Structure 1
Amino acid sequence: MFVVVMVALVVAIWPRGDDDRVISGDTTTTVGTQTSVPVDAGELAGARTEAALADCPAPTAAPGTHAALAGIVAECLGTGRPYNLGEGTAGTPLLINMWATWCYPCRQELPILSRYAARAGSKVNVLTVHAKEGAGNPYLVLKFLSELGVRLPATLDTNGKIAAALRAPRVFPSTVLVRADGTVAKVLPQVFHNTDDIAGAVRTHLGVDT
C-alpha cells in the first residue's frame, strides 16, 4: 500500500520545466524545478517519529580553515532543526552520500551504507544528503527511509549548495569522502555493493581502517 501511495506522491511532485540532465545509475532522467506538496504538520511530525533517524554528526574539533562545507546550513531531517554542516562535521573523517528517492540504485545502496556506518563506529561519520530534486518534500523522504529501515543521519540539499560546495556530480548515488579538516579527499560517482568496498575506499582516500 505504501509503495502505491509513494508512487502517487512522486507523480504529484515530479518536477516540470527548466530541464536538467540527472543521471541515476545507468538511466538518464530529465528533471527540472522541484515543487513541494503541502503536508499537515502533524503528519510530518509523525513521519519523523516513525523514521527515527539518527541525529546529524556533532563536531569533535573546530572547523578547518578550508572546510568545503563552511557556512552551509541545511535541515537535519531527523530533528527538523537547521544544521551547520561545516561546524557539525568538523574533526572526524566524513562519508557523505548524495542520493534521491527516485534513484533505484540508491535504494539498493542505502542499507549497505547503514551497515557500514555501524561497522565504522566513531572512526568515520556517515551523512546522507538528499539531492535538490525531491528535497522540497521531507515527508516523502522520511517515508522512503522508513520503508527501507535506514536510520542514517540525513539532510536535504534544497538549494543545491551542498552539492556545489563538494563539487559533487549530478550522478546518483555519489559518495564524497571528506577529511577531518573539512577538505574533500575524493568524489566517487559509483554504487557500492558491500561494506568491504566502502571500507577499501575509505582506507585508500582517507587513510582510516574501518
Structure 2
Amino acid sequence: MSRGARWALVALVLVVAGVVALWPRGGSEPPAERPHTQAGAPADLLMARNQAALRPCPQGAEGPSALRGLKATCLGDGQQLDVASALGGKALVNFWATWCVPCQGELRVLDEYAQQPGAVPVLAVQVESKEADGLELLAKLGVHLPAVIDEADGVRKAVKAPRTLPASFLVGADGSVAQVLKPLVFESVEQVRGVVG
C-alpha cells in the first residue's frame, strides 16, 4: 500500500470516528433539566421570588370591566390571576419594565406610598421584560409591591396604555380607568397622594 493510500485510509477512519462520536444515540438519557418546584417553576425562579419577598397579589374583587378575564402571572407566587380581581375599588396600576430607568425611582416611590396608612392599593404590571429579571430588579430596589407580569401585553392593550414607560393608571371606585398624565413619573409620595386623592 502506498504512503498516500495509507494517509487517505487514516483520514477516512478519523472522519468515520468523528461522525460516530457525534451521531445521536437512541436510548440515551435525556438532557438534564433544571430542578423544578411543585408548581413547575424552575428552582432559580423560586429563589428569585423568595429574595424579592413581594406582598401577595390581592384577589376576589370584581374590578374594572375592561380588565375582567385578562390573566397575568403574580410575581410573588407564580400563580395566574384575573387582573380585574386584584383591583377592587380605587387603585393605582403602574406599568414598568426592567430596562426602564425612570421606572426604578418611581417603583420606590410607589412602594413607599403603598405602605402609608390610608393608601389605595398599588399594582405593578411588568411588561417587555423577563419574569426573573423583574424579580431580581425588585429585590435589588427593595420594592415589595404586589406585582404581575403581563407577558401577552393584554392588560396594557386593554387600558390603551402607551408604549412609553413608566405609565400609571388610576382605577376609580366605579371601575373607570384613566391614565395619570400629571405627573408622567411619580417622584414623591406627595405626588401620588395628590393624584389618588
> TM-score w.r.t. structure 2 length?
0.74
Looking at CA atoms only, which structure, 1 or 2, has the larger radius of gyration? Answer: 2
Q: Does 1:95 align with 2:92?
A: yes
Q: % of aligned pairs identical?
A: 41
Tell me the alpha carbon deviations over residues 102-135 of structure 1, each in whole angstroms, 9 at most, x when there is no partner: 01101111111001111254x511000012x11x
State how 1:2-81 maps to structure 2 within 5 Å.
41-59=42-60, 61-63=61-63, 67-81=65-79
Report the Cα distance in structure 2 between the residues aligned to 1:167 and 1:95, rounded to whole angstroms. 15
- Pick the aligned partner of 1:161 from 145, 154, 160: 154
Gaps of 5+ in 2: 1-32, 36-41
- Determine the structure 2 residue equivalent to 1:114: 111
Q: Structure 1 pair 84/111, CA: closer, same or farther in 2 (3 Å)?
A: same
- Pick the aligned partner of 1:192 from 179, 186, 189: 186
The amino acid that maps onto 1:194 is S
Q: Per-residue deviation at 1:83? A: 0.9
Counterpart secondary structure, 2:58? coil
- Determine the structure 1 residue equivalent to 2:29: none
Q: Any conservation in 1 of the 2:161–2:179 contact (CA below 8 Å)?
A: no
Report the Cα distance in structure 2 between the residues aligned to 1:197 and 1:153, rounded to whole angstroms. 20
Counterpart secondary structure, 2:56? coil
Over aligned residue pairs, what C-alpha RMSD do you find?
Answer: 1.9
In the TM superposition, structure 1's runs of 4+ consecutive aligned residues that sit over 4 Å from their partners are none
The amino acid that maps onto 2:196 is V
Report the Cα distance in structure 2 between the residues aligned to 1:39 and 1:50, rounded to whole angstroms. 19
Query: Which structure has the highest strand share of the two?
Result: 1
Report the Cα distance in structure 2 between the residues aligned to 1:165 and 1:174, rounded to whole angstroms. 14
Counterpart secondary structure, 2:66? coil
Counterpart secondary structure, 1:119? coil
The amino acid that maps onto 2:123 is L
Q: Per-residue deviation at 1:53? A: 0.5
- Determine the structure 2 residue equivalent to 1:128: 124
Report the Cα distance in structure 1 between the residues aligned to 2:144 and 2:116, rounded to whole angstroms. 14
Counterpart secondary structure, 1:68? helix
Q: Structure 1 pair 62/99, CA: closer, same or farther in 2 (3 Å)?
A: closer
Counterpart secondary structure, 2:50? helix
Counterpart secondary structure, 1:172? coil
Report the Cα distance in structure 1 between the residues aligned to 2:58 and 2:78, rounded to whole angstroms. 14
Aligned residues: 158
> TM-score w.r.t. structure 1 length?
0.70
